[in-house]
């Protein structure tokens, strides 16, 4: 049965009232349009749906804003959060005139990266396994104006609430600073909400493996199973959506900000990746940690282009409050077997099929399509140009003496530096016309708006440090 027949049968069998068309903007936020079932038939599912893309930040101007949403009929799910029966379908964005993928559409860029990999003859499948972390709070308050700037988050797990008056009494069980990894309930108060999120995601056809509390109070992680690049990027989008929605239904609020809390661990998105060809793992071999030469070259490409990659893998000003020494942050551009202090770790596995590299500096603010595509392109550049990463560093990099530490390159220290690095180092991304120069420049302009907003606004801590000086 064709994908169209499957979709139409799914609609009929489940009395679907709306079809929700979903796509992702350059910043990484899912967008949607809900089509009434009367507009859905074989022709519309085949040809796609016109829409105005002028209001999507970083996309076309209003004078050329007509765009086409083309449903990917292989990727749909019944939305568990909507009152009316709704089938959601992932879409690619096409230029309605040429019928070609729109060059600023992140999902289309990720597909182009896979096509480029195949054209190189390197491999036919790229697997990605991300580990997005997040916080769940009971309450968040924020205000930014010309005269006010503050944010306040609260969770019953916060150590600062140990003496707080609660209507039902203060139960006293809560993780301390860096104490959340990972005691059983009642210290871990998120067991039930995480279980529900995992169950909901499983119902949405997202393969899940586990869940647990993370290091910081109110910080969590769900185990998302690895998959092919596009499949996994789609799953990350659903992962974030489900977490936001389930938390909301519990009267709570969730965030993927890397560093919403000072003085404790931030949230990352360690990303495992490997390339396969003809059903065989390309990264398994007889080099360091049983890696292949190609795997080492892949690592070399990642390390060489890491600073420009940061623009996609760590795309917020807040990202660089996580990427600082002292909080298990992977700031040092080195590789090592099993060593979590390196920004590139080779996880232990006794099977060649499990051979992979784990890039540890990304965070979940990343647009998964752009971040995965960019890392793949950096790795492919390493393979193409045989960029060896040098010697491994099998020691605790957090404890290096200053003279040794100064010789190890680091990731960027700010979003501005990352965008400047992307401006200077992006040719590897344009190979095979995967990323276009126009797309990269538009992305830089979009993110520079955030940099300017951040740099031009007084910060509360500046008042604390300087007001009376």
Catalytic site residue 214? Answer: yes
Q: Which of 20, 214, 363, 381 is catalytic?
A: 214
Catalytic site residue 450? Answer: no
- CA 182, CA 379: separation in Å to the nearest integer? 34
CATH code reported for the domain at 125-153+199-208+217-466: 3.30.590.10
Q: Which of 131, 157, 188, 234 is catalytic?
A: 131
Confidence at residue 373, expressed as pLDDT on a 0 to 100 scale: 98
Catalytic site residue 131? Answer: yes
- CA 388, CA 98: separation in Å to the nearest integer? 41
Catalytic site residue 340? Answer: yes
Q: Which of 105, 133, 188, 363 is catalytic?
A: 133
Architecture of domain 16-102: Roll (3.10)
Catalytic site residue 133? Answer: yes
Q: Left, alpha or beta for 203 (phi > 0: left; psi -120 to 50: alpha)?
A: alpha
- Residues 462, 467, 468, 469, Cα dihedral to 10°: 60
Catalytic site residue 167? Answer: no
Q: Which of 41, 52, 115, 203 is catalytic?
A: 52
Identify the sign of the CA torsion 401, 402, 407, 411.
positive
Confidence at residue 63, expressed as pLDDT on a 0 to 100 scale: 55
Phi, psi of 203 (to 5 degrees): -65, -25
The domains of the chain are located at: 16-102, 125-153+199-208+217-466
Confidence at residue 54, expressed as pLDDT on a 0 to 100 scale: 84
DSSP bridge partners of 335: 344
Question: CA triplet 232, 21, 315: central angle to 5 degrees?
Answer: 50
Q: Is the pTM of this model over 0.85?
A: yes
Q: Which of 107, 194, 244, 360 is catalytic?
A: 360
- CA 185, CA 194: separation in Å to the nearest integer? 12
Confidence at residue 179, expressed as pLDDT on a 0 to 100 scale: 86
33: cis peptide before it, omega within 30°? Answer: no
pLDDT tens-digit profile, the chain (469 residues): 579 999 999 999 999 999 999 999 999 999 999 999 999 999 999 999 999 888 899 997 645 678 999 999 999 999 999 999 999 999 999 999 899 999 999 999 999 999 999 999 999 999 999 999 999 999 999 999 999 999 999 999 999 988 999 988 998 899 988 889 989 999 999 999 999 999 999 999 999 999 999 999 999 999 999 999 999 999 999 999 999 999 999 999 999 999 999 989 999 999 999 999 999 999 999 999 999 999 999 999 999 999 999 999 999 999 999 998 766 678 889 999 866 678 999 998 989 999 999 999 999 999 999 999 999 999 999 999 999 999 988 777 777 777 877 788 899 999 999 999 999 999 999 999 999 999 999 999 999 999 999 999 999 999 999 999 9
Q: How many CB atoms lie within 10 A of CB 458?
A: 11
DSSP bridge partners of 99: none
Q: Which of 270, 345, 416, 426 is catalytic?
A: 270
Q: Which of 340, 394, 417, 450 is catalytic?
A: 340
Which residues lie closer than 8 Å to 453 by C-beta, 6 or more apart?
A: none
Q: Which of 79, 358, 363, 420 is catalytic?
A: 358
Phi, psi of 333 (to 5 degrees): -85, 80
Catalytic site residue 165? Answer: no
């Amino acid at each position: 049965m064709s994908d169209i027949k499957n979709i139409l049968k799914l609609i009929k069998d489940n009395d679907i009232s709306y079809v929700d068309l979903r796509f992702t903007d350059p910043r990484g936020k899912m967008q949607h349009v809900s089509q009434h079932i009367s507009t859905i038939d074989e022709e519309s599912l085949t040809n796609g749906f016109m829409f105005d893309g002028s209001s999507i930040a970083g996309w076309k101007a209003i004078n050329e804003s007509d765009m086409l949403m083309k449903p990917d009929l292989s990727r749909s799910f019944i939305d568990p959060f909507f009152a009316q029966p709704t089938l959601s379908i992932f879409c690619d964005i096409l230029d309605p005139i040429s019928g070609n993928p729109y060059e600023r559409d992140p999902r289309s860029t990720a597909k182009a990266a896979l096509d480029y990999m195949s054209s190189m003859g390197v491999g036919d499948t790229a697997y990605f396994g991300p580990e997005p972390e997040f916080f769940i709070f009971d309450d968040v308050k924020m205000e930014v104006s010309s005269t006010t700037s503050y944010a306040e988050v609260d969770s019953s797990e916060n150590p600062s609430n140990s003496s707080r008056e609660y209507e039902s009494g203060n139960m006293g069980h809560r993780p301390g600073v860096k104490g959340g990894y990972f005691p059983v309930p009642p210290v871990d108060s998120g067991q039930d909400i995480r279980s529900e999120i995992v169950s909901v995601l499983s119902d949405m056809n997202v393969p899940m493996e586990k869940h647990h509390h993370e290091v910081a109070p109110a910080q969590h992680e769900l185990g998302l199973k690895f998959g092919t690049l596009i499949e996994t990027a789609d799953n990350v989008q659903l992962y974030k959506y489900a977490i936001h929605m389930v938390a909301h239904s519990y009267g709570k609020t969730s965030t993927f900000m890397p560093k919403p809390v000072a003085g404790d661990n931030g949230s990352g998105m360690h990303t495992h990746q490997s390339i396969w060809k003809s059903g065989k793992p390309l990264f398994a071999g007889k080099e360091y940690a049983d890696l292949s030469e190609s795997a080492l070259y892949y690592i070399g490409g990642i390390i060489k282009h890491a600073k420009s990659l940061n623009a996609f893998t760590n795309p917020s000003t807040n990202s660089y409050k996580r990427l600082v020494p002292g909080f298990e942050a992977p700031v040092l551009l080195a590789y090592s077997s099993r060593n979590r202090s390196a920004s590139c770790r080779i996880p232990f596995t006794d099977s060649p099929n499990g051979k992979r590299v784990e890039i540890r500096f990304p965070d979940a603010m990343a647009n998964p399509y752009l971040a995965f595509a960019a890392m793949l392109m950096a790795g492919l550049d390493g393979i193409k140009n045989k960029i060896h990463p040098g010697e491994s560093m099998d020691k605790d990099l957090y404890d290096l003496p200053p003279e040794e530490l100064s010789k190890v390159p680091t990731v960027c220290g700010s979003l501005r530096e990352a965008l400047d690095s992307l401006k200077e180092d992006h040719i590897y991304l344009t190979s095979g016309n995967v990323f276009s120069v126009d797309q990269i420049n538009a992305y830089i302009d979009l993110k520079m708006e955030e940099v300017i907003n951040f740099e031009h606004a007084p910060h509360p801590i500046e008042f604390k440090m300087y007001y009376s000086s």
